[in-house]
Amino acid sequence: MQVAHPSTLQSSASLAGMNKSVLRRMDQRGPRYTSYPTADRFTSDFAVTDYLHAVSDRRSMSAWRALSLYLHIPFCDTICYYCACNKIVTKNRAKAALYLSYLKREISMQGSLFSGMNQVEQLHFGGGTPTYLSDEQMSDLMDHIRHCFTLAPDHVGEYSIEIDPRTVSVERVHKLRQQGFNRISLGVQDFDPEVQLAVNRVQSEEQTLEIIRAARDAGFRSVSIDLIYGLPKQNVMSMSRTLAKVIAASPDRIAVYNYAHMPQLFKTQRQIKEEDLPSADSKLDMLSLCIRQLTSAGYVYIGMDHFAKPTDDLAIAQQQGRLHRNFQGYSTHSETDLVACGVSAISAVGGSYSQNEKTLDDYYARLENSTLPIARGIQLGMDDVLRRLIIQRLMCNFELSINSLEIAYPIVFREYFASEMEKLKQLEEDGLIKIEPEWITVEPKGRLLIRNICMVFDRYLNQEREKAASQNKDAPQRYSQTV
């Protein structure tokens, strides 16, 4: 295990003391780096046979790693205007029953492929709203998973589900625990009634707190709350009130996401009035407030938009240098391959990424032909793997050991990344990083801008921007703002 560089152990209390002029200059559009290369670099040249080769290569390894399993449940009862997820809004429950019949086919196919090496240590249900499924449907699906894969014991495995507190009762929470889930994530976004109305997600404080209490009573190991800053009608005062209520509820983890307003890409966001959105300066003030208020309450700033109690597995994993980042965000299971099932779901097996079909019709058609519903992906070369490792370590540990990379790869770091080193010098002048002979360390203030720092090493992004600049064009606006 890599030993953490001493400067990464500094208190996160100073993170909010960032120069606003630097923040404004660095507030660009950029990836969140749940993968590298990012999903927009996947191509249809990657086929099912490429995925099968990746699984075959895994089988030929002398030691098999445990698996992480992700299931995508795309359905929602109602639309939240801010949402940018791949979802289907419907009250027709028959659609979920049909979807489950195909999802179980895919799970069976993946289970057969990984037969004999199918130990799962991490399971995550996302969406959409996974609790759109009924108790009976969820029990049946969990039974099917256990038939196709071997789930690690409860005290070893991390089995999580995203829930909408408006869709579950206290009894349902207890049932989810009985079904095998031991971590639960609640979407809250904001407790302010005006904000809730503006984004079409009215959810009372008591409703949320009741579900948190139920999760504690049911024996869930971890309770997480999701918030968003930058929503319409939000301001620093309303955000402070929401944070105070969240802190009083004492969840184990808190995620505070930056709202990405991209109505040109997501039609539902067109329901949001642009004049109701907070200004850029107001958003920066809210971000600063979140960091100050949460760290003052004892939460550890994990990175980007995640906070955790010091006793939480995420905080411990980061301290020990074994934190990981994948499509579900930060994770403690760094050595797992990710097998993802469901429409639009993305797997990461060996040196490859693969994404399923994005529409139900195409997803169903593939499975009708007894074929995995893989639509596109990418096979990583050495340069991709190297840059992925760099981005992972910066994202998770806020440091990079140059010597360890030169030992693991046939490179001289400063020669291989000569152009990147020039860009890093500007970030060092801004006080965001520290460059030493053997280490590149992200300074406490730089944690706010870790996406920008990682973008320096994104070969695809830099080539795209250079090409756009040479043609006197703007680069595609497919990413959210970094701040």
Binding residues for [4Fe-4S] cluster: 76, 80, 83
Q: Are 131 and 163 in contact (CB under 8 A)?
A: yes
Q: Cα(177)–Cα(439) distance, rounded to whole angstroms?
A: 44
Helix (H, G, I), strand (E, B) or coil at 440: strand
Cβ–Cβ under 8 Å, residues 213 and 248? no
- Here the contacts of 424-433 (C-beta below 8 Å, separation 24 or greater) are 424/453, 424/456, 427/452, 427/453, 427/456, 430/19, 430/22, 430/26, 431/19, 431/22, 432/22
Distance CA 355, CA 339 (A): 10
**Binding site as annotated, residues for S-adenosyl-L-methionine:** 70, 82-84, 127-129, 162, 189, 201, 226, 260, 346
Alpha carbons 356 and 376: distance in angstroms, whole number: 7
Q: What is the DSSP string of 72-131?
A: EE-EESS--TT--S--EE-S-THHHHHHHHHHHHHHHHHHHHTTTS-EEEEEEEEES-GG
What residues form DSSP beta bridges with 332?
Answer: none
Length of the chain: 483
- Which is nearest to 375 in space by CA: 42, 105, 102, 71? 42
Question: Which residue's entry shows tokens 């996160």?
Answer: 12
Compute φ and ψ for 224, nearest 5 degrees.
Answer: -120, 145
What is the torsional sign of CA 6, 11, 12, 16? negative
Do β-strands 300-303 and 253-258 pair in parallel, antiparallel, or remain unpaired? unpaired
Closest listed residue to residue 258, CA positions, set 437, 483, 86: 483
Radius of gyration of the chain (CA): 22
Residues that constitute the known binding site: 70, 76, 80, 82-84, 127-129, 162, 189, 201, 226, 260, 346
Alpha-carbon distance 359 to 236, whole Å?
39
CA-CA distance, 422 to 414, in Å (whole number)? Answer: 10
